[in-house]
Amino acid sequence: MRGAIFLCSLAWAAAAAAVEAPEFDTRSTDAAPCGTGAPPPGHPLPEVRPPSGGLTLTVRQDGNRLCYVANGIADAPVIRVRLGAELTVALQNEITDPAAIGAVSGP
């Protein structure tokens, strides 16, 4: 009987956590600069194949959370280029509170 009660309470806690956690969405918006939710384990990373003009990566901040945004997607991309091709990456800093850097980096 105790095992059944424990399993029921465990299932209830898992269901409650699933309801409270926002769905994973990588779209960067004004309301959610780093998207919403957390990526599920093993999710595929987006691939970017920059045009000849290069690629712009933007560092955005959502509270203490920092993220790279490429093409409106707030998920660190895998950058694919041909061997021998020239790659230009422009890094745009949109961090509004420098204290957030200390929260995500080591001493």
Tell me the average pLDDT across 18-40. 85
Q: List, for residues 47-71, the tens digit of each pLDDT value.
A: 888 877 789 999 999 988 899 999 8
Higher pLDDT, 11 or 94: 94
Instruction: Report pTM.
Output: 0.69
Residue 47's beta-bridge partner residues?
A: 78
- pLDDT score, position 72: 92
> Where do the domains of the chain lie?
23-104
Picking from 80, 89, 78, 70, the residue whose alpha carbon sits closest to that of residue 27 is 70
Beta-strand pair 78-79/47-48: parallel
